[in-house]
Amino acid sequence: MKKNVGTIDKYARLIIAAVIVVLFIMKTISFATTLGIILAVVAVIFAGTALMGSCPLYSIVGLSTCDVKK
C-alpha cells in the first residue's frame, strides 16, 4: 500500500486512539453501549492506519497528508 498518512496525521490518530483506550480503562466508556462499540472500532482503525501509514479512505478520495519531497 502507498503511504498517504503524514507525520502530524499519524501522531494525531495515535493520540486519539490512546485517549479512547484510556477512557475504556478508566471505565468512563463501557463496551456494553453502542457508543462504546463505535469508539472501540474507531480506536482500532485509527491505530491501525497510523501504524501502517496508509489510510484506505484517503486512497479512495485521492488525499495524502504526507510531506511533499522536493
Q: What are the pLDDT digits (tens) for 24-39? A: 999 999 989 999 999 9
> By the 8 A CB rule, do 58 and 22 touch?
no
Q: State the pLDDT at residue 70.
A: 56
Can you read off the three cell numbers belonging to residue 27? 471505565
Helix (H) or strand (E) holding 66: none
Q: What is the pLDDT of residue 1?
A: 80
pTM: 0.87
Q: Residues in the chain with pLDDT < 50?
A: none
**Radius of gyration (C-alpha) of the chain in whole angstroms:** 14
Start-end of H helices in 1-70: 7-25, 34-52, 56-61
pLDDT of the residue at 2: 87
Query: Phi and psi for 34 in degrees, rounded to 5?
Result: -65, -45
